[in-house]
Amino acid sequence: MNFDLDELKKNHNTSYLAGILERLDKEEIEIREMLTKDDTLKEMVDGELKSIQEQREATEKQIQDILNNYELNATKKKEEEMANEVVLEVRAGAGGDEASLFAWELAHMYELFSTIKGWQWKTNYESKSELGGYKEASFEIKGKDVYKMMRFETGVHRVQRIPATEKNGRVHTSTASVAVLPIRKKVLFEINPADLEMEYSRSGGKGGQNVNKVETAVRLIHKPTGLDVRSTNERSQLANREKALMILTAKLQQLKEEEEAKKYAGVRKDQIGTGDRSEKIRTYNFSQDRVTDHRIKKSWHNLPKIMLGYIEEIISALQSGETGNEEE
């Protein structure tokens, strides 16, 4: 196979492998030069050249597999980037009540950012802690380029600060996870109705008497994977069921894509991360008035303003992929 090494180096998925090919080429030249100086080394040189050729073929196959996968997903990724509707989920992680409060603050930050961008924001489901934070919550966002801008928010967000409930003034570290699911016009994943289990209950909060007196809230459980989705804020059971099914479809599609991506994750991770919701992506350090994105090693100050939804500078940096040199 003939590859353009310069082009491979520009692609973050193949740049590491391009380096291996370059090293093998140099080794081959050096070994052949040894033979010109001492022909008694022919047997040893032949063995080394055979080993280099085997390594080259294996590396080239890896590159070809990655390029093939990239081409197959190019159309799908383009469609995702153009998606103008997403479901955003937040979930409290480690840290108890402080984690739930942080999860609420993250959701509020995204809601304010949505207002700044002129996007529509709607609550699908929320489960609150005793202090008013979010144990978990789900929201629907609609607007131009919403997925293109929000896709890099998926992952674990970490907060370092002195909680309001802390009596001894100690800094605590808590986490909350965020997932951003694109809602596609064309459904790429079909769900077998036999795989679904549905539960109905009464909704609380806004929505009028019908919402509070009739079992309009819906919980969908996908039995093969154990994934479950809730929708409580629509005015009818049918509307909540349709919304829950839409979200579950997006989740299952993402799960399928994550499994496919793992086949190629061993080569080299994307500069801005894998998109895995378990990946620690950002730290909000309140005592130092700083937020750091670990994927591009960049930091920004003025956390109060950032938490008010002014995150476009961070999002733009992630989209450009430019890296800094800060670890925390």
Question: 314 and 291 in contact (C-beta within 8 Å)?
Answer: yes
Least confident of 21-25, 166-170, 225-229, 255-259: 255-259
Q: Which residues contact 258 (CB under 8 A, 6 or more apart)?
A: 275, 276
pLDDT of 299 strictly over 70: yes
Q: Which residues contact 7 (CB under 8 A, 6 or more apart)?
A: none
- Residue 169: Cβ within 10 Å count: 6
Q: How far apart are CA 261 and CA 53, in angstroms?
A: 28
The fold adopted by the segment(s) 193-261 is Double Stranded RNA Binding Domain (3.30.160)
Q: What share of the chain is helix, strand, coil (3-state, %, to 5)?
A: 45, 25, 30
Mean pLDDT over residues 134-138, rounded? Answer: 92
* CA 127 and chain centroid, separation: 22
Token output for 112: 């304010």
pLDDT of 88 strictly over 80: yes
pLDDT of residue 208: 45
Assigned architecture for domain 82-186+278-320: 2-Layer Sandwich (3.30)
Residue-wise pLDDT for 266-282, tens only, equals 433 443 344 445 578 99
Residue-wise pLDDT for 29-71, tens only, equals 888 888 788 777 788 888 888 888 888 888 888 888 887 776 6
Q: In what order do the strands lie in the sheet with 196-201?
A: 196-201, 217-222, 227-231
Question: 234 and 204 in contact (C-beta within 8 Å)?
Answer: no
The number of residues in the chain equals 328
Question: 326 and 292 in contact (C-beta within 8 Å)?
Answer: yes
Q: Residue ranges of the domains in the chain?
A: 5-79, 82-186+278-320, 193-261
Share of the chain above pLDDT 90, in %: 28
In degrees rounded to 5, what are phi and psi of residue 170? -85, 145
Q: How far apart are CA 139 and CA 236, in angstroms?
A: 18
Q: What distances in angstroms separate CA 35 from CA 38, 45, 46, 83, one per listed residue? A: 5, 7, 10, 59
Q: What is the pTM of this model?
A: 0.61
Q: How far apart are CA 179 and CA 74, in angstroms?
A: 22
pLDDT of residue 156: 93
